[in-house]
């Protein structure tokens, strides 16, 4: 663990992972504040499609340690994040950050291509169920498949179809 910058310190975050949720984006980012470097989980209260892996944003620090909720027999989220090298988190309200630019690696290019294809499918005029199916099968991303759609596939014994991806889809 590293010592945290004071609240309100200007920090820069290079996004390394993005997980979209219903009303927010969960990001893992490499943070630089003054001379301090660490990884953190950022929760952004918006679906800003400009944010991609490799994006660099400026934000004011209000980091807190990643901790569990304290419920008996709960998932050990703090240990899970520690295995990823993440010990701190911060909630960022909508528009409380500034997109500065991008720094890419090959991995970020490939993840961004996948995200762009996913966004194109989501913007298409086809039904939401068809969008979810296409993203799951073509891009291997089951996170967009809602519970109802997944249970429909499970009920008819076709849940394994959603596991198709990459080379499997190319062969078909």
More confidently predicted of 45 and 155: 45
pLDDT digit string, tens, across residues 108-143: 677 778 878 888 888 889 988 888 888 877 877 777
Write down the pTM of the prediction.
0.62
User: Is residue 147 scored above 60 in pLDDT?
Assistant: yes
What's the angle, vertex CA 76, arms to CA 75 and CA 82, rounded to 5? 140
How confident is the model at residue 160, as a pLDDT?
67
Say what the pLDDT of residue 92 is: 93
Note the Cα 37 to chain centre separation in Å: 20
- Which stretches of the chain are assigned E, i.e. beta strand? 10-20, 25-33, 36-44, 55-60, 64-65, 86-92, 98-102
146-155 long-range contacts (CB < 8 A, ≥24 apart) are none
88 vs 82: CA distance, rounded Å: 9
pLDDT in tens, 60-78: 999 999 998 888 888 999 9
Decide if 55 contacts 14 (C-beta within 8 A): yes
pLDDT at 172: 44
List the beta strands (DSSP E) in 47-144: 55-60, 64-65, 86-92, 98-102
Q: How far lies 79's CA from each of 87, 158, 165, in Å?
A: 9, 34, 30
Tens digits of residue pLDDT in 1-47: 667 778 888 999 999 988 888 788 999 999 998 888 999 999 998 88
């Amino acid at each position: 663990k590293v010592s945290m910058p004071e609240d309100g310190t200007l920090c820069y975050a290079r996004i390394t992972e993005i997980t979209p949720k219903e009303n927010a984006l969960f990001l893992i980012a490499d943070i630089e504040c003054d001379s301090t470097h660490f990884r953190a989980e950022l929760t952004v209260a918006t679906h800003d499609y400009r944010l991609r892996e490799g994006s660099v944003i400026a934000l004011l620090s209000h980091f807190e340690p990643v901790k569990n909720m304290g419920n008996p027999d709960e998932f050990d989220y703090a240990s899970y994040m520690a295995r990823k090298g993440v010990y701190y988190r911060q909630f960022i309200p909508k528009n409380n950050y500034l997109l500065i630019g991008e720094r890419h690696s090959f991995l970020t290019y490939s993840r961004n291509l996948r995200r762009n294809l996913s966004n194109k499918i989501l913007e298409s005029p086809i039904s939401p169920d068809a969008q979810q199916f296409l993203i799951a099968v073509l891009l291997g991303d089951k996170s967009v498949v809602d519970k109802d759609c997944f249970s429909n596939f499970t009920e008819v014994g076709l849940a394994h179809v959603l596991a198709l991806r990459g080379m499997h889809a190319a062969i078909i």
